[in-house]
Amino acid sequence: MKLKDRVAIVTGGSRGIGRGIAIKLADEGADIVVASTTLEPAERVIREVEARGRRGLALQTDVSNFDEVERSVAQTMEAFGQIDILVNNAGGSARGSMSLFCDSQEATWDRVLGTNLKGVFNTCRQVIGHMQARGSGSIINIGSVAGMIGLASQVDYSAAKGGVIAFTQALAKEAVPHGVRVNCVSPGPVGSDAGRQIPPGMKRGLAYTALSNATGFGRFGEPADIANLVAFLASDEAGFITGQNFPVCGVMNLGLAEPLLG
């Protein structure tokens, strides 16, 4: 087990990719705090963690709210006395409010940036001092291929995730002398609950066929594809890796996937 007796906070760990990460880290020996907007599904994941013989705690937390994050980090410290791993997974696109930029609304921009980018600031701001004082820790931010190549009709989300990648690089430079590593994992389309939803107005063919083909594998990724890399980055095996962004999207970030011959 790579993460025996480590304590990990997984934001948005109540379903989808975050649930996959929480379960994988528990399988590797970590105790898990799931900090998510909805308590009941977070508690269900914690029961899965406890069934693996690990300790767990579900905390209702809106990561875009600094005070709520401060309270949840304090509760984690009270319960476990340390934080070794922070996975900033909470986030997502505008979904039901997705639009072309020329039709976009300020409130949607604030919500998308608030969860995906300010949420990462809020949690890191609360946890970094503790990790630096102990001289160890691993922070893994969940970005998106949208933050690397930009996705039309997701300008807000692309900007937020691009910000997360740059945030990762800059914080890693400050934290590396203190023994704390900060990395980013950028998924392509993943068959999570959110990944399977088709936002109103999105072309059905684009949602499935084009996105699946763009990965080169002809399919969406699975939460485990992301969780396996997160567990590695959280572990001492990744002790010389920091400030990096790792796309997990097949060839989607590389341009044309279709061969021009044959």
Ligand X SMILES: NC(=O)c1ccc[n+]([C@@H]2O[C@H](COP(=O)([O-])OP(=O)(O)OC[C@H]3O[C@@H](n4cnc5c(N)ncnc54)[C@H](O)[C@@H]3O)[C@@H](O)[C@H]2O)c1
Catalytic residue list: 157
Q: Does 195 bind ligand X (CB under 6 A)?
A: yes
Q: Is 189 in the site for ligand X (CB under 6 A)?
A: yes
CB nearer to ligand X: give 107 or 260. Answer: 107
CB-nearer residue toward ligand X: 254 or 261: 254
Distances (CA, A) of 86 to 33, 159, 163, 233: 10, 22, 18, 11
Q: Given the complex with ligand X, which of 37 and 126 has the nearer CB atom?
A: 37
141 interacts with ligand X by CB under 6 A = no
**71 or 178: whose CB is closer to ligand X?**
71
193 part of the interface to ligand X, by CB under 6 A = yes
Say whether residue 62 binds ligand X (CB under 6 A). Answer: yes
Rounded CA separation 134/60 (Å): 27
Contact with ligand X (CB under 6 A): which of 24, 28, 37, 86?
A: 37
Closest contact distance (angstroms) between CB of 160 and ligand X is 8
The SS3 of residue 222 is coil
Choose one: 25-33, 55-63, 172-180, 234-242; the region binding ligand X (CB under 6 A): 55-63
148 binds ligand X (CB under 6 A): no
Runs of H (alpha helix) within the chain: 16-27, 39-51, 66-80, 106-113, 119-134, 146-149, 155-175, 193-196, 204-205, 211-214, 223-234
Q: Which strand (E) or helix (H) includes residue 255?
A: none
Q: Does 33 bind ligand X (CB under 6 A)?
A: no
Task: Look at residues 57, 92, 84 and name the one whose alpha carbon lies nearest to residue 71.
Answer: 57
Query: CB of 41: closest distance to ligand X in angstroms?
Result: 7
If one asks whether residue 144 binds ligand X (CB under 6 A), the answer comes out as yes
Select 111 or 134, whichever has its Cβ closest to ligand X: 111
Q: Is 118 in the site for ligand X (CB under 6 A)?
A: no
Instruction: By CB under 6 A, tell whether 163 contacts ligand X.
Output: no
Residues 75-114 close enough to bind ligand X by CB under 6 A? 89-92
The distance from CA 248 to its chain's CA centroid, rounded to whole angstroms, is 12
The whole-angstrom distance between residue 170's C-alpha and the CA centroid of its chain comes to: 18
Q: 125 — phi, psi (to 5°)?
A: -60, -35
Closest Cα to residue 184, out of 160, 166, 168? 168
Helix axes 155-175, 119-134, angle to 10 degrees: 10
Contact (CB, 8 A) for 84 and 7: yes
Provide the binding-site residues for ligand X, judged by CB under 6 A: 11-12, 14-18, 36-38, 61-64, 89-92, 115, 119, 142, 144, 187, 189-190, 192-195
